[in-house]
A = this chain, B = another copy of it.
Amino acid sequence: MPLDSLESAGVDTPSMAKHTIYDIARLAGVSGKTVSRVLNNEPSVSPATRDRVARIIDELGYQPHHGARSMRGQQRDCVGVIFSAPMNKWPVSHQQIHWLFLELERIFGARGKFICFDLNPYTNGIEGVDYARALWQQRCNGCLIHGALQLNDKVIARIHSSGYPYMALNRFEEIPDLCFSSVDYDEAAYLSAQRLIRSGHKRIGMLQAFHDTQAGKERRSGYTRALEEAGIEIDDSLIRPVSFAGSDVTAATLYLLLECKASAIIDCSMLEDPASVREGARRAGRIPGKDFELVDWTYSPDSISLPEACAHVRIPLREAASEGMELLAQWFDREREEPFQILRRPELFEADTVRELPIATPIFDTIR
């Protein structure tokens, strides 16, 4: 219902009728285009007109219809946040989701962006799960892809070639120029295996998270590389895929120690839970750090996951992600034109230097 006078709208109780720019225009005695100019902070509106229009907009609590805007304009005001798998497959931890929120608020919120989540990654397209519905529908004008990329992922290629700003938190072999910010898991696995080889181990087990993903593949390749360099034969059964269930890690630990006769284990399960590994060891009749050696991986900058480990590997994924999100925000706002690649180096440190927490350093980084 269009308004006939400003008074009928009321300053104290902004009318809930949905206004259009033409309602504003009529009240201000200008054309719709002028209202549009004010809304978009375009120049070439006289200060007096601008003020008058702005005042009416404020008083009515008018906000431009997003759908209509998105049909004409090319502004980018909404970031899609995508989980590449449903949470029951890859449970995102309390800390991680909280961290993500704070970062989104800090980086995109500060720029006035909206955040759109599609929590329904179950819609099957021809290629499997299409997790980027929000992007194709143009609800959002770019996206952040949170979570590992499965090796058979077909959606990421569409996103990559769509022209929308985006960032993944993984590399992806098939798309060398993918925009991502991540950590070199190959290197992390290489460092871990190398460390245990130096201790004289030949049967090194690995609790391998994300086995069907690029991140899992990198674990395998780094591990393999280290063993090959040392002339140790690869035994595939020593690379043990695990899910995020503690029981799975426990069972895999038991299996590696008993069936595979592993004398050392790389815990890159990312569960960051000492209890599961300990329980597996207990069932095998072994004591971690005594009967077998461990290298553990952690995302956390200020803690380790397994005190019994002889060395720890820190995976600075959140730091990489934060850095990348800043760049994504700039790309979004056309402050930079191109995609980027950030790969941070993992840091291995000995258990006896735990107090001196290392600063992670980038390996390569196409943006500097």
Contact = CB atoms under 8 A, between A and B. Distances in A.
A217 B105 CA distance: 29
A139 B126 contact: no
Contacts of A50: none
Contacts of A358: none
B114 A58 contact: no
A11 interface: yes
Contact of A116 (B95, B111, B112, B115): B115
A149 to B, nearest CB: 18
Given A87-B102, A98-B97, A98-B98, A63 B137 contact: yes
Contacts of A364: none
Contact of A126 (B61, B66, B95, B158): B61
A66 B120 CA distance: 16
Copies in the complex: 2
A120 B126 contact: no
A185 to B, nearest CB: 25
A119 B130 contact: no
Interface string A115-139: 1111110010110001001101111
A133 B65 contact: no
A118 B105 CA distance: 9
A139 B66 contact: yes
A68 B321 CA distance: 33
Contacts of A111: 120
Nearest to A68: B71
A244 to B, nearest CB: 14
A14 B158 contact: yes
A52 to B, nearest CB: 15
Contacts of A110: 120
A240 to B, nearest CB: 28
A69 interface: yes
Nearest to A105: B119
Contacts of A158: 14, 16, 61
Contacts of A86: 105
A163 interface: yes
Interface in A59-77: 59, 61-71
A133 to B, nearest CB: 6
Nearest 6 CB-CB pairings of A with B: A109-B119, A67-B70, A94-B94, A63-B136, A67-B67, A66-B137
Given A64-B137, A105-B119, A115-B116, 17 more contacts: A13-B157, A14-B158, A65-B138, A67-B68, A67-B71, A67-B138, A87-B101, A92-B101, A94-B95, A97-B98, A98-B98, A104-B119, A109-B119, A114-B116, A114-B117, A114-B133, A115-B117
Interface of A: 11, 13-14, 16, 18, 58-59, 61-71, 78, 86-87, 92-95, 97-98, 101-102, 104-105, 108-120, 123, 125-126, 130, 133-134, 136-139, 157-158, 161-163
